[in-house]
Structure 1
Amino acid sequence: MRSRRWSLAAQFLVWQLLALLLVLGVVAAITVQQSTEDFRSSRQTRLLAVAESLAATPVVRSELVEGGNRRALEGQIGRAASLSGARRVQLVGLDGTVAASTDASETGTRATLGAPVAEGRSWSGDLSIDGEETVGGQAPVIGDDEEVLGTALVVEDYPPWSDRLLEAAPDLLLFLGAAAALGAAGAFGLSRLIRRQTRGLEPADIARLADHQEALLTGIHEGVVGVNGVGVITLVNTSAQELLGLDEGDVGRSVTDLDVHHGVAAFLAEAGDSDPTLIVVEDRTLVLTRRRTFFDGRAVGTVTTMVDRSDLLALQSQVSAQASITDALRAQTHEFDNRLHTISGLVQLEEYEEVVALIADVNRRRTEISDAVTRYVEDPRVAALLIAKVTAASEVGIDLSIEPESSLPRLDPAAAADVITVMGNLIDNALDATRANGGHESSVRLTVEPGGAPRIRVADTGAGIAPEDIDRVFERGWSTKPTGAAGRGIGLALVQAVCSRGGGRVTVMQGDHGAVFTATLGGVELQTTRRGEVPDECDR
């Protein structure tokens, strides 16, 4: 069974009580020592006064000689002991032997003195008698001829340590009680403060949570960046460090001070929730999502997750191109079905000359479309896309033409895939806009700038883009198409990502009858046009 851990408040209280007990022990030792010093100081003075009084007694001065009256001396000793409360009172002869004492068995023994008798001076201080520490006072006995006859010694034992401790006990208990009460109140208040700052977690919970968080943040593939309410970085996991070029030293810095892409910095600095946002950073295509974090109902910061979608974007570009060609082939299949049904009917009617004329017309139109494309486009992959798009446009009554100044050489597969992605999405948007506005024209211009980078221009007779929407054209998820339409809000965002990945850009500007989109691959402008209501050029 798992043992119950002590709460933070209990641990604080126990440690504070232990500290108080330690302090109390030190205070008790100091108190006892001070009590001993006070006892020594006061008793030395009193015992010396008693000794001097005894030494000045006429009976002692006359009888403390060889052959003197011992009984008279004993009477004076008993009187002095009674008045002073001393344990031991002795009269010592000039030779240092005890002449009279409160303990008759000590008579004739060597006395323990603080100063030699012959010096004839008073003394007070500590004496060690029979291994016991005592305090005493010593005064010389002076005869009428001013000669030293002996000395009077008054001795008192130190009280036991227990008695001195008990004497100080009331004060110590008062101090202990007051300190314990203050310590308990302080421990409780401190634990409440710490619990509030640690979200009510105990130390073991905090340690366990920190271990779990470290394992989680280190193990996940997505980058995670935490920002507090004042825009300071509080967390950057390993994946985020790799994606953004940060390190542990950036924790604690303001977002505005980070050396990261301006789009990423602006995204991190914002406080609200966000939908997935695509940002191209050098050769990486990052998808960022931001969520606010709350405590006690108030926002305390944001957590941004990010993932590298460069490989997925490349795959999506290829899928988009293939889907575009597939749609065109589907339209052609539908057209050929109609042609085959017509030929079948003419054969049944035995109108063979009409069959030959129809086949010649179909072949001529296919040849015209192929020639119109391959005359300007040498790359077979891009040419196949354009042939399919022209055919699909003709099926819905739109004339999609390639302008005479267009020119595109053979490309490597990677470059061709990017051109197909950009061109396919922009042409699809142009055809949708033309059809929605009841127009009948769209055009494509393909050029190659010096240095080998392709540039494309597509025009239509659509309704254009409203000025208030110009800044949102390339946002992922934004579209003029109806909600739920296939591919809604993806095409232009994909175009921008492909162009930016290669160091290019995409712009939109006003045309004669629609909107003009311009995109650059490999640092050179790649341009698509849609005529409409756009008043200004918007470089994205």
Structure 2
Amino acid sequence: MARNIPIKWKIMIFSFGVVFFSIIIAGIIASGKLYDQTEERLGERGLITGRTVANLPEVQQSLNESEGWEKINPIVNRVRTINDSDYIVVLNSNRIRYSHPVEEKLGTVSAGKDEGAAFAEHSYVSKAKGEIGVAIRSFVPIMNAEHEQIGVVIVGNIMPELGTVLSSIKSELALIAILALGFGIVGSWLLARRIKNETFHLEPHEIARMLVERTATFEAMNEGVIAIDLDGKTLIFNEKAKRILDITDDAAGLPVSSVIKSKQLLSVLIEDHRLQNEEMTVGKKVLLISKVPIRVEGQKVGAVAVFQDRTEVAAMAEELTGVKNFVEALRVQNHESLNRLHTIAGLIQLDEKEKALDYVFEVSQQDEDLSNFLSKHINDFRISGLILSKVRRGKELGVDVTIDRNSIYTKNPDLMDSHDLVLIIGNLIENAFYSFNRVSKEENLIHLSLISDDHFLYLSVEDNGCGMKEEVQEKVLEKGFSTKGKDGNGLGLYLIKRTVERASGKMTVVSHEGEGTSIELIIPMSTERSEHDDD
């Protein structure tokens, strides 16, 4: 049953235990310090009282008189009462008691063993255990006017019990305990709630089950799937991949170089570039392979390759299309979560638990901020979903897709619907992605702005990709013209232009070779506005 306890309760119980144990340890240390301070304070107070008695003229004058204790003892008793001392003993140079709390001992000789240094003109404090408890005894020499020692004053204060000492600050201790435990409980609850939110309210056993299901999913796929980490070790090597590559042994966790003998396929997995449906000959088989580098915050952490025997692809064309879509959906939706789980697991294995939590908080905060912004400012789930998917796709491609924080979209123009906007935004961002294939930059950026008000809809997509030459800009909006060669059909920007013109809008393309491209659309919200502008 312990495994099924919700993680938030485990965290709260553990955190509460840590705080409670810390309070106990701190209380023990503080109690020792307080007890030592009380002992030191009593010793200092005794020395002060002793010096007061030693400097009294009546004490100095009567100390050597026969039966001088009859004068000294009443005076000393008053001083003892005023200074709240437990007892004061005055001895002359012959160690005869001239003051003592027990009157029967007046005039008798003291046989104390720790008084010797006091008769050598030393002031000091000692601790002695007696019948009524531990006494803190302060010794002060008595000097006459000629600076000759004529006796000793011993001031004793009984050390209170530890419970008595702590009772003097019980209110402070109670307040500290309540605050510490309160903050511990609240902090634990907030941390547990945050972790639950970050893990999509999944328990650890549910996350483990998802990993098992993910592995089963890869095993059930009709493609070979190989995933490696940055060190070249295999993370995923499903059964289909082993059958295609004629591998019989378990390959998971081994260096990929020791498993795959084909140098061409090995270089594809290790090198930092993408492949999309590339044909490759491995042995006697022709493979159709797609490979995507796995990146976390712009840093490569591994790669995943999906491939199929070309003969099977040709035999099952329709089925392949469905599988490719499934693979693409898995790659877009699951690989980012998988990468995060691997990163978290790696940090935990390295005993970097705080960094793992920081990473969870950071990644989740980024996703949460973007999702919250889109839900509040983009009043169409299709458009907000498209933008969110393009941001995630940009992460896979190493492109930072940002949205203007002033963006707001409340309704469609009269002559345009959300499907048109999905077509426009999707094509513009995909074209921007493609612009980075022909240029190498340290930072790849795409900036999207979507603003609507009562009069106009403003949309712009800017990138710092390869840009276009002037002669290309003149043809880029023509039907059939494409800068992508065989990969393009020349319809994307043409359809966008037609859609904008149908809505009585304006489209502006500004591009500089090597610096990037900016495409702006201004579309009137109402037919009345467009007719007024034409006039």
Q: TM-score, normalised by structure 2?
A: 0.44
Task: Choose 1 or 2 for highest CA Rg.
Answer: 1
Q: TM-score, normalised by structure 1?
A: 0.44
